[in-house]
Amino acid sequence: MHPHFETYLQTHTTLLPENIQRVSSMAIRHTLRRNEFILSTGEICRHKVFVISGMLRMFSTSADSSEHILQFAPENGWTLDVESYDKQIPSLVNISAIEPSVILCWTKADFTSLLSDIPQFKSFADQIVARNIYYNRQRMLTMLSATPEERYESFVREFPGYLLRLPLRMIAAYLGISIKTLTRIRHTQLLRS
């Protein structure tokens, strides 16, 4: 049904082929243009989303129209506003495509039944949630303790490929610094090397 996703499940889980088929068969495929939104502030998040190709971002916009990025979701990543999805309340964030992307969507009803019917799939989902918790705690610690330059360096170390894919202003919006500061950091690093 969705061969890329089925391969992903084969390599990342020990699900039986029939269960892989079942999960895959309930997904709806969408193609997104650059800058296309799949969730806007005020809407309710109704799907779990898997990224087959491309890149999405979750972000919020301040009163002064500056953007703040909570998450990048590249190929083989998952994304959703979990609070809006869980409680079915209006979302405070946006999710949109940075690159032309292909995604799979499951409705909450479908995904919930998959989780309860397939315990191994549930535990795989729990693993992904756990990884997110670990990652976000580390990110918070970095925000608390590291300088903008250290944050940038750790970002580059952690996501080497993103540097070529993302506009710098989005990296700045993820690190919580101004584009000016990021430019300065990169400038001084160039001089040093």
By CB under 7 A, name the binding residues for DNA.
Answer: 33-35, 147-149, 167-169, 176-184, 186-187
145 binding a copy of itself? (CB under 8 A) = yes
Residue 163 interacting entry, from a copy of itself, DNA, none, C-beta within 5 to 8 Å by type: none
Min dist CB 146 to a copy of itself, Å, is: 9
CA distance 187 to 172: 15
Q: Which residues in the 26-65 window bind a copy of itself by CB under 8 A? A: 60, 62
Q: 57 near 95, Cβ under 8 Å?
A: yes
Which 3 state secondary structure label does DSSP give 27? coil
Q: Which does 40 bind (CB under 5 to 8 A by kind): DNA, a copy of itself, none?
A: none
- Determine the residue type at 168: L
Contact predicate 58/95, CB 8 Å = yes
Between 157 and 180, name the residue whose CB sits nearer to DNA. Answer: 180
Closest contact distance (angstroms) between CB of 71 and a copy of itself is 9
Q: Are 62 and 52 in contact (CB under 8 A)?
A: no
